[in-house]
Amino acid sequence: MSKFSLESIREIQRRIGSHEISTKEYVAKCIGNIKNVTGEGGKAFLTIDEVQSLAVAEAQDKLIEKGVKLGPLAGVTVSIKDLFDVVGQVTASGSKVLRKNAPATEDSGVVDRIRRAGGIVIGRTNMTEFAYSGLGLNPHFGTPLNPFDRRSGRIPGGSTSGGAVSVVDQMATIAIGSDTGGSCRIPAALCGVVGFKSTANRYPMDGVLPLSRSLDSVGMLATTVECCQIMDEVLSGGAIKKYPLVPLSRLKIGVLENVVLEGMDKDVKRNYLAAIEKLEKAGASLRVIISDVVNKIIEIQGQPHIVSAEANSEFENILTSMGDGVDPRVSTRIARGKDVTSAAYIKTLHERQSLIKAWLREFSNDDFWIMPTVPVIAPLLSELTSDDEYFRINGLMLRNPGLINFLDGCAISLPNHFPGEAPTGVMLVSPGGTDENLLRYSLSIEQILSV
């Protein structure tokens, strides 16, 4: 292991605590990776909190020398997606037209809890404008390239594109993002890291620029499930606990087969089937699921229906006054919300509540369901030059993860690819409010998949 290899929260804190490295050394290395002219930091980050993060690191080192016990995120660098308020900074959601807004006067609830736990905010990350795409492209500030096969120029996934690259390229220990239809899980799967989407409203939502108030949730990207577990406990206000692994023989897993397996490429299909085989061999109880609820969501276009209507409500005035400055592929999707009548919108919200109840009945005998996070590996940027192909692939990326936002569930994407090959992800999902259990089960699944 090199001195600054890709590491988990626990490993970084162990090495700082044993004086193998200092907090300031670690933070300086992350900043160096962001500023490296041969890397993607200039596209992954919109701002760097260099002075403040180094000052916090130095202060933490002094407290360590005095034997003071620090918070659960001490020494951990955190990248923040550009739609969370950070005091003194403009919250622009990856847009140029919002850069003229006044800076935030206080931290968002999420950022505040991170700081209180000792987390070191290292900068704001790039994203798809207004968080409205699963591909991660941004024509205003550039698209950070996927760390895999960077020479060929593959997309990072979105909308939390900069967050994913910040973790893989060792610019931050963990990235905070939002997830309305897969915006943390998609880039996690395409870039080869863990991506967690919490139950909506599990964490504070104040100071988060919305896309869809009904479906928005906060999520994160990291190197391990345990990193997400620690951050989840910080953001939810829970106690930091060390969970034992759950034996696979105790787990009941639903294997969803309708809709979510359609359109799989050869890499995703091979890796997904290999993951299922590993779980079977490890003793898990698996049963095939054909979900009427999932079919119905696709039939009524539930997730895109709600998001387009609510996004249009949020950004219609901006498009009217400054629409020429907005990514046309984003503004086109927002404008579709005008076609959703108030009656259709209200009907979809009512159908959503009925389908959530129906899902709980379908789910009643399982610990979680499993499916591919997305059906294809990261496409090349060159494949997305036409609008038709852009929107087709975007819909494909959002299809599986968006189901869980509509159902108000929680979900996690785990890497399941072979070393050196294109990243793919497998997604574990469960109903809203079961976040702790899902993370606990994911620790065991992660271990099996890594063998």
Which residues are the active-site residues? 81, 159, 183
β-partners of residue 359 are none
Q: Please enumerate in sequence order all residues whose Cβ is within 8 A of that of 65, keeping only pairs 6 or more positions apart, or say none.
A: none
Count, residues in the chain: 451
Three-class SS string for the chain? CCCCCCCCHHHHHHHHHCCCCCHHHHHHHHHHHHHCCCCCHHHHEEEECHHHHHHHHHHHHHHHHCCCCCCCCCCCEEEEECCECCCCCCCCCCCCCCCCCCCCCCCCHHHHHHHHCCCEEEEEECCCHHHCCCCCCCCCCCCCCCCCCCCCCECCCCCCHHHHHHHHCCCCCEEEEECCCCCCHHHHHHHCCEEEECCCCCCCCCCECCCCCCCCCEEEEECCHHHHHHHHHHHHCCCCCCCCCCCHHHCEEEEECCCCCCCCCHHHHHHHHHHHHHHHHCCCEEEEECCHHHHHHHHHCHHHHHHHHHHHHHHHHHHHHHHHHCCHHHHHHHHHHHHCCHHHHHHHHHHHHHHHHHHHHHHCCCCEEEEECCCCCCCEHHHHCCHHHHHHHHHHHHHHHHHHHHCCCEEEEEECCCCCCCCCEEEEEECCCCHHHHHHHHHHHHHHHCC
Instruction: Please tell me the distance from the alpha carbon of residue 57 to that of residue 63, in angstroms, as a whole number.
Output: 10
Answer whether 163's CB lies under 8 Å from 176's CB.
yes
> Exposure string (b/e) for 70-83, b if CB count within 10 Å is 16 or more?
bbbbbbbbbbbbbb
Backbone angles phi, psi at 124, to 5 degrees: -100, 135
Q: Which amino acid is at 300?
A: I
Which of 395, 366, 134 has its CA nearest to residue 262? 395
Tokens read off for 449: 């998949």
